[in-house]
Amino acid sequence: MKGGTAQRTIQYNTIKVPLYPTPEQEELFQKTFGCCRYIWNQMLADHEEFYCATDKHFIPTPAKYKTGAPFLKEVDHQALTQEYNKLSQAFRNFFRNPSAFGYPRFKRRKDDRDSFTACNQFSPSGSTIYITRDALRMTKAGLIRAKFPRRPRSGWKLTRVTVERTKTGKYYGYLLYACPVKPPEPVEPTAERTVGLKYDLAHFYVTDGGLTADPPCGLRQSRDKAAAIQRKLGRLQPGSKNYQELVQKYRLLHEHIANQRRDFLHRESRRIANAWDAVCIRDDSLKAIAGELGGGAVHASGFGRFRELLRYKLERQGKQMLEVGRYTPTTKTCSACGAVNETLSPRARRWVCPVCGAEHGRGKNAAVNIKAQGLAHYQSRQAMEAVS
């Protein structure tokens, strides 16, 4: 599977770019968002009708709707094609794993994201989507003024763009690039260069060395502010000018919090992936944890995202994430002697092993166990492969 080092693989990178459309371009984008929802709902309804009549799955292509709905011709056909692809994918996901994905739903303007995606089409005369020094060029919209936080490297190929309008009215383009890279040299995990991580409600995570990562304190302040605004909203007349202004303020703050959280997760996962050769982590169902803890939900969902970010950041360096099964007892097991302390209270932050007398911090002890288990699984897997 690994192949020679001369071989190249494709990695995908996204550059997020603020867009500054003209009023005409903004109108076109709004129309496109609407048309995408329209076509999605039409295709979904027709799929249902067809299925009821024939017991077969079939989704008509977007082109078929243009005679009945000529306004569809005003927007980029690529955006509609993408809706077709997304709906087909949603059905494939649903049939493969209904409990995880659910049946595709109709989209309503008020609870749907305003976005559309267009794939780049290449032809001898050039490509439909490209960037200039200060603009993004798309079909129908033409040149849209843009501010690039970074530029693609040479050899990167722009494959598709998603345009999004946030709830506060800002526009962003997500430029997806296909980047040929040399596959990284696989890095062998060793005990010295491996870290164990335990999800922790108070500190986000604890390492087997006892280090913690605390979310930035600004995040807490922002959340308190958001809660205060919500209380104030409850006292105002819905629809009044003050109410509208406060709603806008709330949305801005909400976006700010989301950005802060994303930055924190990226920074932490980058730091860990660069500092260590392998990471042992438990394959916890964070949904279940969030359900049990209620208030910790925000954190727990963040940890799931963190784990995914960490995984791909490690993989890109040829490093591994060694996952430990979610039912492996790690918290109640003494990392010094291996005895299981069944009497451990779910609230105890510190505890003393009744068998060997070792003193433990709850999170650190679990992280030590996770690291030992992760490495043990890895070594036994290696041994098995060597035999076969």
- Closest separation between CB of residue 351 and Zn ion, Å? 10
Counting every residue, how long is the chain? 388
Report the alpha-carbon distance of residue 182 to residue 13 in Å, rounded: 15
Identify which range of 214-222, 282-290, 332-340, 369-377 contacts Zn ion by CB under 5 A: 332-340
* Closer residue to Zn ion (CB): 291 or 338: 338
- Closest separation between CB of residue 333 and Zn ion, Å? 9
Residues in the interface with Zn ion (CB under 5 A) total 8
* Closer residue to Zn ion (CB): 28 or 353: 353
> Using CB under 5 A, which residues numbered 261 to 280 contact Zn ion?
none
Report the alpha-carbon distance of residue 304 to residue 287 in Å, rounded: 9
* Closer residue to Zn ion (CB): 119 or 339: 339
Identify which range of 24-32, 130-138, 173-181, 328-336 contacts Zn ion by CB under 5 A: 328-336
- Closest separation between CB of residue 338 and Zn ion, Å? 7
Identify which range of 27-35, 41-49, 219-227, 337-345 contacts Zn ion by CB under 5 A: 337-345
Taking CA atoms, 377 is separated from 72, 321, 322, 382, in Å, by 55, 12, 8, 9
> Using CB under 5 A, which residues numbered 344 to 363 contact Zn ion?
353, 355-356, 358
**Half-sphere exposure at residue 286, Cβ-oriented, CA atoms within 13 angstroms:** 21
x-or-dash string of contact with Zn ion, 281-320, rule CB under 5 A: ----------------------------------------
> Using CB under 5 A, which residues numbered 66 to 85 contact Zn ion?
none
Identify which range of 135-143, 182-190, 203-211, 339-347 contacts Zn ion by CB under 5 A: 339-347
> Using CB under 5 A, which residues numbered 163 to 192 contact Zn ion?
none
* Closer residue to Zn ion (CB): 90 or 339: 339
Taking CA atoms, 334 is separated from 160, 212, 373, in Å, by 51, 20, 13
* Closer residue to Zn ion (CB): 48 or 359: 359
- Closest separation between CB of residue 268 and Zn ion, Å? 31
- Closest separation between CB of residue 360 and Zn ion, Å? 8
> Using CB under 5 A, which residues numbered 201 to 220 contact Zn ion?
none
Q: Considering only residues 201, 337, 348, 352, which one is a binding residue for Zn ion as defined by CB under 5 A?
A: 337
- Closest separation between CB of residue 358 and Zn ion, Å? 5
- Closest separation between CB of residue 201 and Zn ion, Å? 24
* Closer residue to Zn ion (CB): 142 or 338: 338
- Closest separation between CB of residue 98 and Zn ion, Å? 45
- Closest separation between CB of residue 332 and Zn ion, Å? 11
334 lies in the site for Zn ion, by CB under 5 A: yes
* Closer residue to Zn ion (CB): 258 or 337: 337
Using alpha carbons, select from 112, 56, 62 the residue that is nearest to residue 82: 62
* Closer residue to Zn ion (CB): 348 or 355: 355
- Closest separation between CB of residue 341 and Zn ion, Å? 8
Beta carbons of 367 and 198 less than 8 angstroms apart? yes
Binding interface with Zn ion (CB under 5 A): 334, 336-337, 339, 353, 355-356, 358
